[in-house]
Structure 1
Amino acid sequence: MIGRLSLDEQLAALKSVLSRNEVLLEVLSRTAKLELPGCYVTAGCLYQTVWNVVTDRPPANGIKDYDVCYFDDSDLSWEAEDAVIRKGKEVFGGLPAEVEMRNEARVHLWYEQKFGVPCAPHESTESAIDCFPATTCCLGVRVEPDGRWRVYAPHGLSDVFNLVVRPNPVLAPREVYEVKSARWQGQWPELIVLDWPPEPGRVRGFSS
């Protein structure tokens, strides 16, 4: 099983598997051209591509959108983020998929209103990825100027390849994890969804 390979072998396998999703490759390529600070393609489109390939489904099956996250704390106004979103609509135009963009430096401004718990300001896109509701979701990929892939996976890749969904109770409410994991398991019934721990610690926020 890929999840039992060494880390460098898992990274090579991840690139190979993700490269089977042609839409994802195009999103990665176009994202690099935006040259946004701290930018990654993140979360669902990545691990769900892996789930599809591991379970012999078409690589883009069931992926509802492609998330692009960046970090720019020089201007926290909605107008600045909206300008990036509008530029993204032009750059990603024509793709057979929805691309959602988010400035992770602004998450703390709206998180509590949406999810009912406060979120401390993120320090980087990586710190935002650290706070996604399942450790399996904590994954980001970008293409560097020299063409190399940069992969951020603070919890490793074994759970992703082994179809394990593991809670990450650093802030995201239990309900968010359970709703998301139930939806995922409905689409990919092979998933092994682990229970939310009885006393979650809440220290930061999450996104996506």
Structure 2
Amino acid sequence: MLGRLPLDEQLDGLRSVLSENKILTDVMTRAATLDLPGWYVTAGCLFQTVWNVVTGRPPTNGIKDYDIFYFDSSDLSWEAEDAVIKAGHKLFADLPAEVEIRNEARVHLWYEEKFGVPCPPHEATETAIDCFAATTCCLGVRLGPGTGWRVYAPHGLSDVFNLVVRPNPVLVPREVYETKAARWRDEWPELTILPWPN
């Protein structure tokens, strides 16, 4: 079981498992050409690929989109972010999946209106990844120089491999976590969903 291996072996396992999702590896390869500052492919497309492979499902099962985060605080205008989004639409247009690109330097400008709680400005893409609803989601991967992978996993990989969903009550409201967890359990009933802390 990958979740019980030493961390270096878990990282090798992660690369191997994620490589089974050819859409994901294509998104990563193409994203690297956009030269976005601090970019990562992140969120559901990563941990859900692991869940699929670990449970014997097709690697792309239940994945609704592929998220790319980047961090550019030099221009916080919607127009600058929209230009990147449009470039991404062209780059990924032929893929059989939706790819969403977002500048995490701008999140604090719209977060409270959408989720009802304020979000302090992020300092980097990693700061944004730290704030996902579940620690299991706090994962980012990108291609570095050559074919090297850079993996950001502040809570490790054991829960991801062991199908454990653990709440991360640093920003996202409880109801967001519980809604996401319920949707994930419907798709992957093997998951262990841990309750929101009192």
Q: TM-score, normalised by structure 2?
A: 0.99
CA distance in structure 2 between the partners assigned to 1:115 and 1:96 by the alignment? 29
Deviation at 1:175, TM superposition (A): 0.4
The answer to whether the aligner puts 1:168 opposite 2:168 as a matched pair is yes
1:32–1:145 CA contact under 8 A, matched in 2: no
Q: Match of 1:204? A: none
The answer to whether the aligner puts 1:40 opposite 2:46 as a matched pair is no
Any idea what the Cα deviations from partners look like across 1:12-43, whole Å, max 9, x if unmatched? 00000000000001000000010100000001
Q: Match of 2:178? A: 178
CA distance in structure 1 between the partners assigned to 2:116 and 2:23 by the alignment? 34
Q: Match of 2:133? A: 133
- Count of residue correspondences: 198
1:174–1:196 CA contact under 8 A, matched in 2: yes
Q: TM-score, normalised by structure 1?
A: 0.95
Q: Match of 2:110? A: 110
CA RMSD, aligned part only?
A: 0.4
Q: Match of 1:54? A: 54
Q: Match of 1:80? A: 80
Deviation at 1:145, TM superposition (A): 2.1
Deviation at 1:171, TM superposition (A): 1.1
The amino acid across from 1:108 in the alignment is: H
CA distance in structure 2 between the partners assigned to 1:155 and 1:196 by the alignment? 17
CA distance in structure 1 between the partners assigned to 2:61 and 2:118 by the alignment? 34
**1:123 partner SS:** coil
Deviation at 1:66, TM superposition (A): 0.2
1:10–1:157 CA contact under 8 A, matched in 2: yes
CA distance in structure 2 between the partners assigned to 1:154 and 1:44 by the alignment? 16
Moved over 3 A (4+): none
- Structure 2: which 5+ runs fail to align? none
Any idea what the Cα deviations from partners look like across 1:150-207, whole Å, max 9, x if unmatched? 0000000000000000000001000000000000000000000000001xxxxxxxxx
1:4–1:158 CA contact under 8 A, matched in 2: yes
Q: Match of 2:151? A: 151
